[in-house]
A and B are shown apart, each in its own frame.
Chain A
Amino acid sequence: MGTKGVAQAGKAAGRKGALADFANTSASVVHTAAEILEKEIAAGIKAAQEVSARMEMAAGKSPDPTNASFLEIIDRFEKDAQEAVSVLATLFRTLAKAVESNTTRRPKPDTQQD
């Protein structure tokens, strides 16, 4: 029959049942569609809640500048950094003294060897 034949036959048959089909809102396809919509929306809400919960969990672990534990960590880091700096400064001072001491003890060049 091909495309045109099917189209013409369909149009003729279609006009007859059009109004009856149009008025039949209790058709099975409408019920199936309604159920699918409800399920999809429920699944969407559940998925959104799960994403939201995961985001909240992730946010709890991330560094929040107003979070007390985060501030404590920063404070400890600053103290540790200060201690590290003071240790290094002491070390440099010790080294500097040692170098100075070595320098003063070094023998003067022997200019009278010959």
Chain B
Amino acid sequence: MTAQPQEPLDESAASVSSADNLSATRDVEQTLGYYGELVRDRVVALLAHGEPWNYLYEPAAVYPMRSSKNLRPALCIATALAFGGRLDSVLNSAVALELLHNAFMIHDDVEDGSEYRRGGPTLHTQFGLGIAINAGDALSALSISQLMENRTNLGSGLAWRILREFDHLARQTVEGQAMELGWTRENRCDLTEADYLRMILKKTCWYTAIHPCRIGALVGLFGACEPSRFNRFGYYLGAAFQIQDDLLNLVGDEKLYGKEITGDLLEGKRTLILIHLLHNCASSERQRLCRFLTTPRERRRPREVNWILDLMGKYRSLDYARSRARNLAGAALGEFALAYRDALEGESKDFIRGVVRFMIEREL
């Protein structure tokens, strides 16, 4: 049976003024920064005294040391606190999420042949392919160590449940990544919006939003909750995040965004914007577009990329994606009211509500 999406929407959230929005966005950014600093300190402490420093721990520390959104650990921590948990109870899991995220990013940059990440060169361009891949492996291994630490303060039963959450999120992420890589490799031009939504559920949403919230609630309520209540909220939130990320990759400010603008086009990624364009442009334009996508990355020219950007404007593919991101963020807000209905009122709950709007208004 297919359950219908929840309708309730916090009307006040849709009618706030732009000044309130700006203030709320700043609050969210500050809280993200605060949680991010807590997690970064732990990550750096884990890596600081490792040997071989030059060949492993120094490169492994490069991405964690760069400025980032810290969305995953922040959602996990805030959810735990919103359900009455303690910061020291959830920190191991939050650190494990960030370590695994950094590991994924290193390998993702290799797989995509990306050049910039978080405002600097990608790890493989800075240290070479082998060192970078191995540093990613090290961060994955360290994330498991952090999860094992959960036994000390959460007990074996809850630590095991959290490990299973990680098992699921890791597998879903690599499956989603495989879908995206496979589509590029086979130069798929027949994909639909549903294909895209399925791919980002697996590649992005489980590990970016759904599981961080589920794990936070498990810790906060000491296991006494059904974590599936966060699935829809996390999916809609994660999907809005990913579509906004795709938009920023095309039209964002490179300094704020931290990655090369139009990098997704150069890499031939099947974003919602590209899928919409492929379905709506003229036949001759579609043929030229598909030819561009078969061209190896190093032979793709800026002139062609600008032509595609103009097409995306002409066929309103960017507006379409913006609209879909807002639809999903609105649905996430409706689901928030249900998933967090018995959470404690306060800063943590307000922060998570604020994250929904931040997802579609962010420029970084």
Q: Which residues of A contact B (CB under 8 A)?
A: 1-3, 5-7, 9-10, 13-14, 17-19, 21-27, 29-38, 40-41, 44
Q: Name which of B1-9, B77-85, B93-101, B178-186 contacts chain A.
A: B1-9
B349 within 8 A of A: no
Across the A-B interface, the 5 shortest Cβ-Cβ residue pairs:
A21-B326, A7-B251, A27-B327, A22-B330, A30-B331
- Tell me what chain B mostly uses at the interface: helix, strand, loop, or mixed: helix
- Shortest Cβ distance from residue B165 to the other chain A in the assembled complex, whole angstroms: 13
Q: Can you pick out 20 interface pairs between chain A and chain B where the beta carbons lie within 8 Å of each other? A: A1-B313, A2-B309, A7-B251, A10-B318, A13-B319, A14-B322, A17-B319, A22-B330, A24-B330, A25-B9, A27-B331, A29-B197, A29-B328, A30-B236, A30-B327, A33-B239, A38-B1, A38-B3, A40-B198, A40-B202
Closest chain A residue to B15, Cβ basis: A19
Contacts of B226-260 to chain A: CB distance below 8 A = 228, 231-232, 235-236, 239, 247, 250-252
Chain B residues with CB below 8 A from A7, complex form:
251-252
Q: Given contacts A13-B319, A14-B319, A21-B326, is CB(A41)–CB(B231) below 8 Å?
A: yes
Distance of A31 Cα from B132 Cα, bound (Å): 40
Asked whether B324 lies within 8 Å of A6 as measured between CB atoms, the reply is no
Q: Given contacts A2-B306, A10-B251, is CB(A30)–CB(B328) below 8 Å?
A: yes
Chain B residues with CB below 8 A from A19, complex form:
14-15
- Shortest Cβ distance from residue A1 to the other chain B in the assembled complex, whole angstroms: 5
- Shortest Cβ distance from residue B45 to the other chain A in the assembled complex, whole angstroms: 35
Q: Given contacts A25-B9, A33-B235, A40-B202, is CB(A3)–CB(B250) below 8 Å?
A: yes
Chain A residues with CB below 8 A from B239, complex form:
33
Q: Which residues of B contact A (CB under 8 A)?
A: 1-7, 9, 13-15, 168, 193-194, 197-198, 201-202, 228, 231-232, 235-236, 239, 247, 250-252, 261-262, 306, 309-310, 312-313, 318-319, 322-324, 326-331, 333-334, 360
- Shortest Cβ distance from residue A26 to the other chain B in the assembled complex, whole angstroms: 7
Contacting A24 at CB < 8 Å: which of B194, B250, B327? B327
- Shortest Cβ distance from residue B21 to the other chain A in the assembled complex, whole angstroms: 10
Closest chain A residue to B251, Cβ basis: A7
Distance of A17 Cα from B237 Cα, bound (Å): 19
Q: Given contacts A1-B309, A3-B262, A26-B7, is CB(A36)–CB(B251) below 8 Å?
A: no
- Tell me what chain A mostly uses at the interface: helix, strand, loop, or mixed: helix
Distance of A40 Cα from B251 Cα, bound (Å): 32
Closest chain A residue to B228, Cβ basis: A41
Asked whether B14 lies within 8 Å of A22 as measured between CB atoms, the reply is yes
Asked whether B334 lies within 8 Å of A38 as measured between CB atoms, the reply is no
Asked whether B319 lies within 8 Å of A37 as measured between CB atoms, the reply is no
Chain A residues with CB below 8 A from B4, complex form:
31, 34
Distance of A56 Cα from B28 Cα, bound (Å): 48
- Shortest Cβ distance from residue B356 to the other chain A in the assembled complex, whole angstroms: 9
- Shortest Cβ distance from residue A43 to the other chain B in the assembled complex, whole angstroms: 10
- Shortest Cβ distance from residue A91 to the other chain B in the assembled complex, whole angstroms: 56
- Shortest Cβ distance from residue B71 to the other chain A in the assembled complex, whole angstroms: 19
Asked whether A25 lies within 8 Å of B312 as measured between CB atoms, the reply is no
